[in-house]
Structure 1
Amino acid sequence: MIADEISIQPIIKKSFLLIEEEKSDEELKQLIMSSSAAKTFIRKNESVYEVSLTGVEKTLHYQHCTPIHGEESFEDIMTLVSDNHCLVMMDADHKVTGFVEPSDVCHHLFRKYQHLHAYIDTILHTTEESCTVIDKNQHVIGWTKGAEKLFSMKREQVIQKPITELFSPEHLEILNTLEKGTSVYHRQHIARENQVVLINSNPVYFQDEIIGAVVSETDITSQIKLNNELYNAREKLFHLEKEVTKLTASSDPFQRIRGRSPAMKKTINKIKKASSTQTGLLIQGESGVGKELFAKAAHHLREDKDAPFVAINCGAIPHSLFESEIFGYERGAFSGADSKGKKGKAALAKGGTLFLDEIGEMPLDMQVKILRLLQEKKFYPVGGTKELEVDFRVIAATNRDLKKMVAENTFRDDLYYRLNVVSIDIPPLRERPEDIIELTHYFLHELSITYNRPIHGISQNVMQCLLRHDWPGNIRELKNVVERLVVFSENGEIKKEDLPFDYETPVIPTSELSTYKGTESRSLTERMNEVEKKMIINELEKVDGNKLACAKNLHITRATLYNRLKKLGITN
């Protein structure tokens, strides 16, 4: 925006004669004729008049002058020009300091208009961006060199011509802006066949009336082609990565587990140590943290590649079917049973791993039978008379506090102590914000391929909203949120407005409330800076202090990284 305040000072004239005493007509004539001043004023009863000599006989002529006290705006002065032949400038003490003539005001205003037009004309000739300006009659009145290059039409070919003669009306977003007053920002638009532009468009208002419209265009046709090619290459790479994961799963069973925060590294190391033995594992963690992934990783670490991994969700099996689901049944055991009988999960897990997910939901009457199964590795199928013997390793998982359940007599203490030989806690997502970035980009990439929606990336604003969220549903919730963002994305752009939670209100993770007790005076900015500092330090450690690699991993520029290092006080 060009700041061009119009001042009245340059056109104030100082050459005048002011008469404040009573004078006869002859005395006034003599004073006017002998004075070299441009104008003569006389004050009468708090009013100021211009006095001049007219005609051959030099008759005195009086004309009332409108006073201006220096505080009026140029717009106020313009309203006085049409009704007055002369405007008298007065100071705070009502003393005349000069005068302004209407002709000078008009000339001054026209010069200012010429100056402003010269600025705008130079801007339009200097910018490399494509910019089009139309008036209220849809005629082109502005056409930059960037527009000449983009649309292959010279300025002389388009100026003062209706824009609808140059382009198809359905391809003209500028017409919507002119007719409806709508503004657009960074919207993909098909300017003409096989040409896609990114446009900004705004109406031109004058006194609450639309008098024209301006649109700027950036050609992104080649970028879209490159992005589509990149998307296809990434899709092939993604499928290749999946195949490689299948082939290397035995050598690195933790490959599918995303997240390299210190908390995750510590958890993975614990599971690796525990998996070097045949002892049972109890994996504890909130819903959605991926307990089954860790259980499968532990299974692959200590079992042969052909060993079975049999999972039972204790919270999903009806109470009446629990026993037959785990132990199986003989043929004819009950009405509706399969005529050939059915193997239970315990028998299917022979030589491998039995994974008891959500063990805290298991009915009390089944807990004693499970305890005997785990201790003796023997059981009777439902309706059977022959005891079967099995050998398997057991891994249990829960999102409930089993110790508290034991105290409340809702979980057997002997089963609890049998399961809790080695207990491993999976940290919730809110306690490892560093992993949110990695997981978000992974899910974004995976889901964009699944839904065939190329995504250009994720903005810092959206990422900050994700980092501030508490994530009660953990990784499962994060994946669902990213899926929602991909589904509602437009033209490859992720929008903050599509987040399913309130992104305006920062949330302090519940897990950190105890950390901040006693330090309530710390601002939210200080607490967020602490989290960001930990993230950057961890990333620097991963790349051995290589700042360029760190910046790339964090998807920021190296200059931004240096600024954050300085602001957060991170030294070598």
Structure 2
Amino acid sequence: MPRKLQLNDVMVPGLPAGGTEELPTLPENSVLDEVLPLLKRSETVIALDESGSPIGYTDLKTALDEIVLAYKKEKAYLEAILQTINDSCTVIDYEKRVVHWTEGAERIFSVQEEEILGKPITDFFEAEHLEILNTLETGSSVRNQQHHAREDLVVLINSNPVRLEDRVIGAVVSETDITSQIRLNNELHSTSEKLFRLEEQLRKTSPTDNPFSYIKGNSRALKRTLELTRKAARTDANILINGESGVGKELFAKAVHHLRETDTAPFIALNCGAISESLFESEIFGYEKGAFSGADSKGKKGKVELAKGGTLFLDEIGEMPLEMQVKFLRVLQEKRFFRVGGAKELDVDFRIIAATNRDLKELVDDGKFREDLYYRLNVVNIKVPPLRERIEDIIELTHYFLYEISMKYNRPIHGISQEVMQSLMNHSWPGNVRELHNVIERLVIFSDHGEIRIDDLPPEIEQIHTSAQSPSLLQEKGSGTLNEQLGEYEKNIILKELKAAGGNKQQCAANLGITRATLYNRMNKLGIEL
């Protein structure tokens, strides 16, 4: 931020005896950057007010004091920022020496700040693995690119050059470790198809004991919501489910219903946002034959009557008209109602689950939702977390939808690359699980020869590409027989552990969980020099 010019009193002794007419001048609200060129020509610069009268002056000493103070403040801000961020952040100068190295970098790369500061970064890492050097040399930026920082480490990288006027004087890079995400994706790829088929066979042959089986994910946020839902389902209390569109509120409602009702109890759903106000009463309460023009000659049962002995699920409850809210509240209180056009009062008993993506309390405050109905419905409140708050569930959901949809269209899919998966995990998902399902369906429809292409992602999802020198961990394919490929894989593991142990075979064997004798036998068999 430009610093405002600091002024000394214009009447201070020492100014030229002939006055200030021959000195350079600036407006009083000038900034430090504007006065520095003038101080190269004169030791003193006069500040003028709006009328052109001198009101103060600055000199070289005052300006230098301000420059030093500005430098100290900027340095303090920078250090606070670097100490606050969790991700790895590295800054190098034009000679490739490390200028800044955060705690996140220490964590990821196992190199301490005091070891690396002031030294060339190439002393610690191979140049071909350093995206920051490419940024320094070319002046180009990188955003959300996967990168192999080490053989066993994959990071999501952002980089920018540091520019001073027209010159690149350094580079900065931030890195987020995504190795575990890729490993999980790889493992899920090999098991998801088989698991999906087994689940489908199980559902077809026997009723499931777990009504939450269709709610996929293992994130902490989702597990907490499932736990609260199970507790609520052990009671007869009315339940209000909050959550954004597409999070799966109806799945939670059905799970509650199956937990606390018998197999024959009805589950009746009504989307309050999909019914015109004029039809609302007949939809909820039903009508007698001949109740109005166009009515069914036999009459019709309403949702509350159909839900008798079971569950009435009111989705988008915030869209229910105010007049209808009064009548519905009476049903909840008295357990009795009249059909439209009917003279006979009918008894009814059902449990209520309501859902909304709106803030009902705010609607109450605005006079758009009845307060008494709000408190009647909101006995137990369950909030379903949006997908962006449980990013780790995206991997499981993606694989589940991938195989579900590939079977639907009879289009076998071989897997999903890490760059596509990372793009999915980087998206904010305003449409939540429903949006993810639609995106996966699009990818399957556009797939060729079982391959999912990143270019087929919708334009609103940012495409994250891997760097040219960084092959995808999820797409590496071996050659040769299975035993040959397994042997090569085992050889690479042992070599990597030997390197990590500094050649100490006893330590290497301990790290691998085997005896030293077993290690020697495997090394001999695999052709690794002892």
Measure how far apart 1:469 and its partner are: 0.1
Q: 8 Å contact 1:378–1:388 — kept in the other structure?
A: yes
2:459 partner letter: F
- Other-structure match for 1:282: 240
Q: 8 Å contact 2:196–2:400 — kept in the other structure?
A: no
Measure how far apart 1:322 and its partner are: 0.5
- Other-structure match for 2:251: 293
For 2:197 and 2:437, how far apart are their aligned partners in 1?
19
- Other-structure match for 2:406: 448
- Other-structure match for 2:23: none
Distance 1:460 1:505, change over 3 A: closer
Measure how far apart 1:309 and its partner are: 0.2
- Other-structure match for 1:407: 365
Match of 2:417 among 441, 459, 472: 459
**1:484 paired to 2:442:** yes
- Other-structure match for 1:471: 429
Measure how far apart 1:411 and its partner are: 0.8
Structural mapping, 1:340-359, within 5 Å: 340-359=298-317
TM-score (norm 2): 0.50
For 2:351 and 2:384, how far apart are their aligned partners in 1?
20
Distance 1:290 1:234, change over 3 A: closer
Q: 8 Å contact 2:455–2:463 — kept in the other structure?
A: no
Measure how far apart 1:503 and its partner are: 4.5
- Other-structure match for 2:396: 438
Which structure has the greater CA radius of gyration?
A: 1
For 1:428 and 1:249, how far apart are their aligned partners in 2?
29
Residue 315 of structure 1: SS of its match in structure 2? helix
For 1:354 and 1:246, how far apart are their aligned partners in 2?
26
- Other-structure match for 1:245: 203
Distance 1:380 1:502, change over 3 A: closer
For 2:399 and 2:364, how far apart are their aligned partners in 1?
41
For 1:413 and 1:240, how far apart are their aligned partners in 2?
47
Q: 8 Å contact 2:269–2:313 — kept in the other structure?
A: yes
Match of 2:275 among 311, 317, 333: 317
**1:392 paired to 2:350:** yes
For 2:326 and 2:436, how far apart are their aligned partners in 1?
37
Distance 1:247 1:344, change over 3 A: farther
1:493 partner letter: E
- Other-structure match for 1:327: 285
Distance 1:372 1:432, change over 3 A: same
Residue 273 of structure 2: SS of its match in structure 1? coil
- Other-structure match for 2:374: 416
Deviations 1:499-558 (A, max 9, x none): 10344478xxxxxxxxxxxxxxxxxxxxxxxxxxxxxxxxxxxxxxxxxxxxxxxxxxx9
- Other-structure match for 1:156: none
- Other-structure match for 2:338: 380
For structure 2, the residue ranges without an aligned partner over 5 or more in a row are: 1-188, 465-491, 501-530
Residue 268 of structure 2: SS of its match in structure 1? strand
Q: 8 Å contact 1:330–1:382 — kept in the other structure?
A: yes
Structural mapping, 1:127-276, within 5 Å: 238=196, 241-245=199-203, 249=207, 251-276=209-234
2:425 partner letter: L
Q: 8 Å contact 1:250–1:301 — kept in the other structure?
A: no
Question: How many aligned positions are there?
Answer: 280
**1:428 paired to 2:386:** yes
For 2:350 and 2:427, how far apart are their aligned partners in 1?
41
For 1:242 and 1:456, how far apart are their aligned partners in 2?
20
1:245 partner letter: R
Measure how far apart 1:245 and its partner are: 2.4
1:294 partner letter: F
Measure how far apart 1:279 and its partner are: 0.5
Distance 1:371 1:247, change over 3 A: farther
Deviations 1:234-254 (A, max 9, x none): 989756532422555452100
Residue 272 of structure 1: SS of its match in structure 2? helix
- Other-structure match for 1:367: 325
Distance 1:394 1:469, change over 3 A: same
Deviations 1:426-457 (A, max 9, x none): 00000000100000000001111111111110
Distance 1:409 1:437, change over 3 A: same
For 2:283 and 2:359, how far apart are their aligned partners in 1?
25
- Other-structure match for 1:72: none
For 2:460 and 2:399, how far apart are their aligned partners in 1?
21
- The answer to which structure, 1 or 2, has the higher relative contact order (CA under 8 A, 6+ apart) is 2
Deviations 1:126-167 (A, max 9, x none): xxxxxxxxxxxxxxxxxxxxxxxxxxxxxxxxxxxxxxxxxx
Measure how far apart 1:265 and its partner are: 0.7
- Other-structure match for 1:102: none
For 1:240 and 1:349, how far apart are their aligned partners in 2?
33
- List, as ranges, runs of 4+ consecutive aligned residues in structure 1 with deviation greater than 4 Å: 233-240, 246-250, 502-506
Q: 8 Å contact 1:310–1:349 — kept in the other structure?
A: yes
Q: 8 Å contact 1:235–1:449 — kept in the other structure?
A: no
For 1:421 and 1:293, how far apart are their aligned partners in 2?
20
Q: 8 Å contact 1:405–1:411 — kept in the other structure?
A: yes
For 1:383 and 1:250, how far apart are their aligned partners in 2?
43
Distance 1:341 1:239, change over 3 A: farther
For 1:438 and 1:237, how far apart are their aligned partners in 2?
11
2:343 partner letter: T
Q: 8 Å contact 2:427–2:462 — kept in the other structure?
A: no
Q: 8 Å contact 1:245–1:255 — kept in the other structure?
A: no
For 1:289 and 1:278, how far apart are their aligned partners in 2?
24
Could you tell me the percent identity over the aligned residues?
67
For 1:460 and 1:237, how far apart are their aligned partners in 2?
21
Measure how far apart 1:388 and its partner are: 0.5
- Other-structure match for 1:142: none
Deviations 1:17-55 (A, max 9, x none): xxxxxxxxxxxxxxxxxxxxxxxxxxxxxxxxxxxxxxx
Distance 1:503 1:361, change over 3 A: closer
Measure how far apart 1:338 and its partner are: 1.2
RMSD of the alignment, in Å? Answer: 2.5
Distance 1:249 1:364, change over 3 A: farther
1:296 partner letter: K
Measure how far apart 1:373 and its partner are: 1.1
Distance 1:384 1:247, change over 3 A: farther
For 1:359 and 1:431, how far apart are their aligned partners in 2?
24
Distance 1:239 1:336, change over 3 A: farther
Measure how far apart 1:472 and its partner are: 0.1
TM-score (norm 1): 0.47
Distance 1:481 1:504, change over 3 A: closer
Q: 8 Å contact 1:280–1:421 — kept in the other structure?
A: yes
Residue 354 of structure 1: SS of its match in structure 2? strand
For 2:284 and 2:389, how far apart are their aligned partners in 1?
36
1:379 partner letter: F
Distance 1:250 1:445, change over 3 A: closer
- Other-structure match for 1:44: none
